[in-house]
Amino acid sequence: MIKFEHTLFALPFAFLGSILAANGLPTWRQILWITVAMVGARSAAMTFNRIIDRDIDAANPRTANRELPSGKLSLTFAWVFLYISVAVFVLAAWSLNWLTFALSPVALLFVLGYSYAKRFTVFAHLLLGAALAISPSAAWIAVRGNLMDEVPILLSVFVLIWTAGFDVLYACQDFEYDRKAGLRSIPARFGIKNSLWIARLFHFQAFIVLLLLWLVTGMSSIALAGVIGVGALFVYQHALLRGGNLSRMNAAFFTTNAFVSVILLA
């Protein structure tokens, strides 16, 4: 129910936010609790999404075999796991500093509230991006105790736009079902061809923000090589789906996006 590869999208950005905040390596205690917080928040978000969407998943052939609609896991187990995940996240936030603890309900509102977005707005992809974009700024706060800098903001903006782009691509798989079920998404509203162009625009904007981040941080040419590498991955990702061919979505979505976050952290 909780896919490890999904966590790989956000966790490196939390580490990156903490490294930039510390101007080097954070303390081991900070790294530990940031990791625990990320695992708790991500587990809570995905579990709540599966609970809320269980009827939708059951009616969609692509998702009917997921753990809750197929009966592999019980609804009671999912609720208990959700409460434990939330408690772990709040404990980790409390263990970092007072501001991370005070803002933990705001983070939960974003990561849990996203699950309802596609019922109301085609911009659900941006709301998912906002939920993931919390991670680098939250990690910055965990290390510094404040958010008085443009670096974590730029990093969060990058994560927001990048996530929105790849989520538009992923949603293309459910284009027909979403229209039939009355669910809102950019592919359901604009069609697959236009959605592929919208995703390209999101990723072009994300690359520009990444260049700005490199300039603001004043990092070396090694970091610039990482930025260029991410740009190349964006091009490769969209080349895989050229012409609306969604058969290579797993390679375009899971593999490419996991590499984006890991390359930037490295």
pLDDT for res 182: 84
pLDDT of the residue at 60: 86
Q: Cβ-count burial of 210 within 10 angstroms (0-12 exposed, 13-18 middle, 19+ buried)?
A: buried
pLDDT-flagged residues of the chain (< 50): none
The pLDDT value recorded for residue 6 is 65
Q: How many CB atoms lie within 10 A of CB 27?
A: 11
Given a contact cutoff of 8 angstroms between Cβ atoms, the answer to whether 128 and 167 are in contact is yes
Contact 174, 185 (CB under 8 A): yes
pLDDT at 251: 66
The residue with tokens 């490295």 is 266
Give pLDDT, residue 140: 97
**Residue 119, pLDDT score:** 87
Q: What is the pLDDT of residue 110?
A: 93
What's residue 5's pLDDT?
A: 65
CATH 3.40.1350.10 is right for the domain spanning 4-265: no
Q: What is the pLDDT of residues 173-208, one digit of tens each?
A: 888 888 887 888 999 889 988 999 999 999 999 999
* Complete DSSP assignment for 74-120: -HHHHHHHHHHHHHHHHHHHHHH-HHHHHHHHHHHHHHHHGGGGGGT
Find the Cα–Cα–Cα–Cα dihedral 174, 180, 186, 189, rounded to 10°. Answer: 150
